[in-house]
Amino acid sequence: MTVSPCAADFCVYNRELYQFLVAAQRKSIKNNSTQIASISLEINLVDPLVVLNKLAQPHQLNFYWENQSKKEAIAAIGAVAKLQLQGKERFSKSEGFIKYCLKNIINFATTERTFSKPLFFCGFSFFDINKQENYPFPAATVFLPRWQIAVKEECCILVANFSIHADVNIEKILQILWRKIEIIHSWEFYSPHQNFQEPKFSKKSVANPEKFKSSVLSALETIRSTHVSKIVLADALDVRSNTPFDLFNSLHNLRQLHPNCYIFSTSNGKGQNFIGASPERLICIHNQQLITDALAGSAARGKTPAEDATNADRLLNSEKERHEHSLVIDFITQRLSQLGLLPQILPPRLRQLSNIQHLWTPISAIVPDEVHPLKIVSQLHPTPAVAGTAPDAACVEIRRYESFERGLYAAPLGWVDADGNCEFIVGIRSALIDGDRARLYAGAGIVAGSDPEKELAEIQLKLQALLKALV
Ligand SMILES: C=C(O[C@H]1C=CC=C(C(=O)O)[C@@H]1O)C(=O)O
């Protein structure tokens, strides 16, 4: 067996770690409560997606997150603590659960680097309650993973979380830890291959194109005759493959095809996964500095630089697209102000993706200590970018027009740490994968002046970008 320099360094920690775990066990016995020992170590550089692929078991919860522009990727595998629930109070109950867990976490950190603390991974559904009885994900899932492997700018940190109580064997925990690091290090030079095969799928739109266009016409009538000024209508595409979908290769394709989107995946521990490549950040808080995106209003990328510039120009100057966009800015600034924050609207710009471009206005604010990230998530979700205006009334229309359960589509997905840092995206451009079946989702904002034909084309463009990655 070859011992890498990094592995040799770990022996230095062995004694300290042993003492740390013994102290955690004493505390657990004294308080008559389970403690969570969270150990963070810098390890050799591995690709978290490779670790996810090799380590994750279908019966475990897991989570994958990647942002190439920030040089960040995280894989979270297994759960030492989890909460799954539904209902109106799902955000506040999730916040309570995280705070409760944090009281029992004791940290052993050998590094102060980014992602050296345990993160709580969260996945919410669009609605408080999923009406489809057998929808495979609950309306809220929060978990503290057993293994968290994160890369930030070429530095790889492993966080291992262990439940400690009177009966655990400390020597065995250390053995499990060192053995796991050894295994993870053996994947150091492993990199996935790009794998764009000719699709062998059968495809079926859940609502056929004619039905979608007629829903747009009805939505326009609602907009004309009521106080609802925007409704985001989505469509779902069901795809069936000859063989089970390969999650790992699909995620790898997504990150190749959409380098400036957030690549994500979350599993329910029962074999179903929800994956995607989202351009939309709901909130990111780093050292109390919050940033959120107003993202709405779309145009295709051009096939030539000249066509691209014309499309961009048309988008920037379209009254209809700017109105659709401004509804999102107004809502976000209003909701942040209601929380006592002072939102600053940054200059508008374009968010240009591989196949589509959007109007984009980042909004920033400082978050006081007492405002938990999930409070902000609950205030912002759903924004008019994915629901409409006013969101509550628009949601009633969405339930009326869409024949499928949105589930995790267009809902908050992300992580929170103990210091109030977090990042949540909106789960758009996404798919629910179940063996050889996938359901792909995409939506478009309908406002006065929307053309059913163009809205359908926008949705198809979004679905195609996702479909291309699935293998
Ligand atoms: C609801 C989706 O996109 C939203 C985000 C950006 C642009 C949008 C639009 O122009 O309609 C949508 O509001 C989706 O892709 O499923």
Q: How far apart are CA 233 and CA 215, in angstroms?
A: 8
pLDDT tens-digit map of 249-273: 999 999 999 999 999 999 999 999 9
pLDDT tens-digit map of 310-362: 999 999 999 999 999 999 999 999 999 999 999 999 988 999 999 999 999 99
Cβ(224)–Cβ(452) below 8 Å: no
Q: Is the CB of 442 under 6 A from ligand 1?
A: yes
Is residue 204 pLDDT above 80, yes or no?
no
Is residue 200 pLDDT above 90, yes or no?
no
Average pLDDT score over residue span 458-470? 92
Where in the sequence numbering do the catalytic residues fall?
A: 230, 280
* Neighbour-count burial of 75, counting CB atoms closer than 10 A to its CB (0-12 exposed, 13-18 middle, 19+ buried): buried
Closest atom of ligand 1 relative to the 385 alpha carbon: 13
**Whole-number mean pLDDT of the chain?**
93
Q: How far, in Å, is the centroid of ligand 1 from the Cα of 69? A: 21
Q: How far, in Å, is the centroid of ligand 1 from the Cα of 444? A: 5
Is residue 207 pLDDT above 90, yes or no?
no
Query: Domain map of the chain by residue range?
Result: 5-185, 202-467
Average pLDDT score over residue span 152-172? 95
Smallest CA-to-CA distance from 222 within 430, 58, 448, 464 is with: 448
Is residue 376 pLDDT above 90, yes or no?
yes
Confidence at residue 435, expressed as pLDDT on a 0 to 100 scale: 94
Place 11 in a pLDDT band, splitting at 50, 70 and 90.
low
Architecture of the CATH domain 202-467: 4-Layer Sandwich (3.60)
pLDDT tens-digit map of 70-115: 999 999 999 999 999 999 999 999 999 999 999 999 999 888 888 9
Is residue 450 pLDDT above 60, yes or no?
yes
Average pLDDT score over residue span 425-433? 97
Q: How far apart are CA 466 and CA 278, in angstroms?
A: 10
Q: Is the CB of 232 under 6 A from ligand 1?
A: yes
Whether ipTM tops 0.95, in short, is: yes
State which of 126, 315, 358 you would mutate to test the pocket of ligand 1, scoring each by most atoms of that ligand within 8 A of its C-beta. 358
Q: What is the pTM of this model?
A: 0.95
Q: How far, in Å, is the centroid of ligand 1 from the Cα of 258? A: 16
Q: How far, in Å, is the centroid of ligand 1 from the Cα of 386? A: 6
Place 7 in a pLDDT band, splitting at 50, 70 and 90.
very low
Average pLDDT score over residue span 23-36? 95
Is residue 4 pLDDT above 50, yes or no?
no
Q: What is the 3-class SS of 187-216, one letter each residue?
A: CCCCCCCCCCCCCCEEEEECCCHHHHHHHH
Q: Is the CB of 43 under 6 A from ligand 1?
A: no
- For residue 349, give both structure tokens: 């710009």
Place 190 in a pLDDT band, splitting at 50, 70 and 90.
confident
Closest atom of ligand 1 relative to the 328 alpha carbon: 13
